[in-house]
Structure formats: structure tokens, C-alpha cells
Amino acid sequence: MATCGHEESFIESPPSLEIMVKNYPLIALNEEIDRSTPRCRLCDLTAATSRESAAVYPPPTFSSRIEDLQHHIALAEQLIAEGIRKEELEATLASIQKMLTDEIFATGNRMLEAWKEHWAIWGLGEGPEMPNVYLEEVVEEESRAATGNKVKAPLNIKGKASAKKAKRF
């Protein structure tokens, strides 16, 4: 029994491995935990959201790099409109916007990583959506495997795809 002190409504046994494999085939499961022992789902959820928050607002500054880049872009656009250092800023604005795009992608991947442990225990249902791009890559890789072509391992990203999406291949 969990000893966290939360109400009994949060204490439950995780789904069995058989159910997890059937309903969530894209998730790398945590096979080390004892699924017959009740756990506090609220504690696991809180830990996942804390990891997600750290992915978006990383220590030690706890500030969002995305927000910082957006601020720099807005400032550069304002200075360009006012004609201050216009040529220099126009030359660097595209690279700052590229950095913003890259950071948004990286932050999304860090957020997915933050939920892996929770999804490995409880399955999908909480957390961010699984990108459809990943589902399409899995379908493509499985079709290559069926034809006998060389296949690289799946990305092993866990996301919040519904069982219907996961089973569409």
C-alpha cells in the first residue's frame, strides 16, 4: 500500500502488462515495478508534471528559452521598425527565428521525455499529445520490416495517442 498520505481514491494497482501491451503498443513499458502492488496515481502524476515543468523552465534560471527568444524577436522587430540598426538586425532576425523553431521542437521532445516514466506505468491518458509524425514513422518502419528492408529502431517516444490512433497501422 502507498504511504504518501493521499486519499484512497488515488491508490490503485497499475494496469497489467498484458493490458498495457494490448492498449498501448507504442509505449516502452516499465516491467520492473510490481503491478499487483497499489501505487498512488496522484504522486506519479505530480512527478511527471514536475519533470515536464523542468523541461519547459529548466534550472537553474527556471526561465523559458522560448519566451526569451520570442522577446528578442519582438525587440528586434521593434528596433527594425524604428530604423535602429536595421541592416544588422534584419540579418540576424532569421537566425533568431530559426533558433526559436528549433527550441520549440526541442522543448516538445523534452516534454514527451518527461512523461515516459508515467506512461510506462499507467499508459496514456495524461500529458501531452503524441505527435502524429511519430505514428507515421512507426507505420513506415513496420512496412519496411515486412518487406525485408533494413529498419532502424523506433524513436521510443511515448505520447498521448489514443488506442485508436496507435492501432491504425
Residue 146, in any domain of the structure: yes
For residue 1, being part of any structural domain is answered with: no
* DSSP per-residue letters across 93-115: HHHHHHHHHHHHHHHHHHHHHHH
Q: What is the DSSP letter of 11?
A: E
pLDDT at residue 131, as a whole number: 64
Flag whether 96 is in a domain: yes
d(CA 48, CA 11): 17
pLDDT at 24: 86
Task: Please report which helix (H) or strand (E) contains residue 12, including its range.
Answer: strand 11-12
Structural domain containing residue 105? 8-166
Residue 51 lies in a domain: yes
| 137 within some domain | yes
How many residues in total does the chain contain? Answer: 169
Any domain includes 154: yes
Please give the model's pTM, rounded to 2 decimal places. Answer: 0.67
Gyration radius of the chain over CA positions: 21
The packing angle between helices 86-122 and 65-82, to 10°, is 160
Q: What is the pLDDT along the chain (169 residues), one digit of tens a residue?
A: 557 877 778 889 999 999 999 988 888 888 899 999 899 999 999 999 999 999 999 888 889 999 999 999 999 999 999 988 888 999 899 999 999 999 999 999 999 999 999 999 998 888 887 665 544 444 454 445 555 554 433 334 444 343 333 333 3
Cis before 60 (ω within 30): yes
Question: Cell 510506462, residue?
Answer: 120
Residue 163 confidence (pLDDT):
38
Domain count, the chain: 1
> For residue 145, is it within any domain?
yes
Q: What's the pLDDT at 148? A: 54
In this prediction, residue 147 carries a pLDDT of: 54
Cα–Cα distance measured from residue 103 to residue 95, given in angstroms and rounded to the nearest whole number: 12
Q: Report the Cα 10 to chain-centroid distance in Å.
A: 24
Q: 68 lies in a domain? A: yes
Q: What are phi and psi of 11, to 5 degrees?
A: -90, 120
Across 39-167, the runs of DSSP E, i.e. the strands, are 39-40
